[in-house]
Each structure stands twice: as C-alpha cells, then as structure tokens.
Homo-oligomer: A and B are copies of this chain.
C-alpha cells in the first residue's frame, strides 16, 4: 500500500515534479531544434552525397539499450543496497536496545546509551551528505564525547567505540555476563557492517569508464538520430527523434541520480525521515518523556 497518490494513468503522463524531465528539458529542446535544422537542410546535404538510413542505427540503438539496461541495473543495485543498509541500521538499533534493556533492566545510565545510538544514525547521515555534524551531535553527546568524535577521521566509528566501552564497563563491573556481552557484541558488529557498507557505496562510484562510455554513446546516438530518421519521416522527424531521445537520455540521467543514493535530490533516499524514525522508536522503547515530532518524508516516500 504505497501512499504516493495513485494517479490516473493519463495524468501521470504529465507529471513534472520528481521526474527527471526538468533536468533534461534543455537537451531535448536542443535535439528538437537540431531535428528541424536537419529537415530543413536535407536537400542541401543530400546533394553532397551525405545520407544515413535507419538500419545501422537499429543495431546501435539495441546495443545501447542493452548496455544501458545493465548500467541502470548496477546503479539501481547501489540504491537498493543503500536502502537495505539503512533498513539494517533500523533492525540493529532496535535489537541492540532490546537486548541491552532486557539484560540490564535497571541500569540508571541507559538513556545515555540510547543517545549514543541515536547519535550514530545522525552522524552517519551527515557524513554521507558531507555536512557539518557538530551542532546536531551536541544534542546527544557529552562535550567530552563530542570533542573525541569530531576529531576522529571516522566519527561514526568513534561513536561505535564509545558504545562498546559503555558495555565493556558493565561487563567489568559484573553486570553483564560474558555470554550476553558476546551476544550484544554481535549487534554492534551489525552496526559496523552498515557503517562500512555505506562508506563503500559513498566512496566507490561505478567504474568511471562504464558511465562515460554509455553517456557518450547515448548522446552521439541521439545527435545522429535525426539524420537517419529524416529520410523516412520527413516532417515527423523532430517528434519521433525527441521521443526516442527522451527514452535514452532520461534513463541515462536517472542512472546517474540513482548512482549516488545519499544525495538530496528528488529520487534519493529520505535519510532525515529514517533517522527521525529510529530516534522515535528508540526513545519510545525506554519510555522517554519527550519524543521528537514525526517527520514526513518527501512526497515520494512514506516512512512508518
């Protein structure tokens, strides 16, 4: 039950917001203009012996469609994995707190541990968006912790270490048996998996040449297309050329957008809303008095 309002199939043809259309309008318009020039100058350059036919472009078009399909799949896989990792963060956060809370039910400092957990999520989000973290983290960390975290090369990893030390202290005090310390350590490891997974997606784009080759062939294909279509279609060339170009260029552009799922564009992940959901969930599990307001993600998403 996806909440995105179910548009009529006809209305959907004219949707503007959230599509990649605004980004590529100018390119499609240039393609349209080029097509008009091609139609207009057809007699002249035909007289020079220049002619193109659709057949070779059919081979090229299919080949590009296949390769573009594979690239889109690869970019979409990055997007899906990124979402999966944030889902795992949700899982690990809840399970970690559930285990800690049931194992140490009377610990007076439990809310401190929860604040570290929440800080981890926010810290990861802001690292992935290259934003300054000081102000936000100050709400959850003591000033000493904050100083340590901000001076680290990998702030989120530093928070994990603080959490582990909080737990190790309980173990040394005898409140946490080895067995359950081990069990909780597994959940900490799950969070480390999320952290490194996000870093991997963040720092390693698709091999550059992969994107480049397809970008280049798509554009060259679209530029040469009107020359090939004009012999058959004449006045209809601009319309068909723009339609075909739209199909290829919009998918090339979308792939580029999905390649970096942590950005803040229309089709990127709603990290703010996910962090907010984690925060509310964790605070509610320890019966905190004050919960933050529930955030509504952009209209293309709906977080529970």
Interface residues of A (CB under 8 A from B): 1-2, 4, 9, 12-13, 15, 18-20, 27, 49-70, 72-74, 76, 79, 83-84, 87-88, 90-91, 94-95, 98-99, 101-103, 105, 127-130, 152-154, 157-158, 160-161, 164-165, 167-168, 172, 177-183, 185, 187-189, 192-193, 195-197, 199-200, 202-205, 207-210, 212-213, 215-217, 219-221, 224, 229, 232-236, 240, 243-244, 246-248, 250-251, 254, 257-260, 262-263, 266-267, 269, 277, 280-281, 284-285, 291, 294, 300-304
Per assembly, the copies of the chain total 5
Give, as a whole number of angstroms, the nearest-CB distance from A98 to chain B.
Answer: 5
> Which of A199, A240, A248 is the most central at the interface, judged by chain B CB atoms within 10 Å of its CB?
A240
Give, as a whole number of angstroms, the nearest-CB distance from A202 to chain B.
Answer: 7
Would A56 and B216 be within 8 Å (CB), given that A50-B236, A152-B284, A258-B207 are in contact? no
Would A205 and B2 be within 8 Å (CB), given that A59-B58, A157-B285 are in contact? yes
Contacts of A61 in B (CB 8 A): 59, 62-63
Which of B56, B127, B195 lies in contact with A233, CB distance below 8 A?
B56
Contact B90 A304 (CB under 8 A): no
Contact A301 B205 (CB under 8 A): yes
Contacts of A244 in B (CB 8 A): 56, 59-60, 63
- Among residues of B, the one whose C-beta sits closest to the C-beta of A90 is B196
Contact B19 A208 (CB under 8 A): yes
Which of B54, B189, B254 lies in contact with A56, CB distance below 8 A?
B54
Contact A192 B91 (CB under 8 A): yes
Would A13 and B219 be within 8 Å (CB), given that A130-B1, A213-B254 are in contact? yes
Contacts of A130 in B (CB 8 A): 1
Give, as a whole number of angstroms, the nearest-CB distance from A293 to chain B.
Answer: 11
Contacts of A160 in B (CB 8 A): 94, 98
Give, as a whole number of angstroms, the nearest-CB distance from A106 to chain B.
Answer: 10
Contact A212 B15 (CB under 8 A): yes
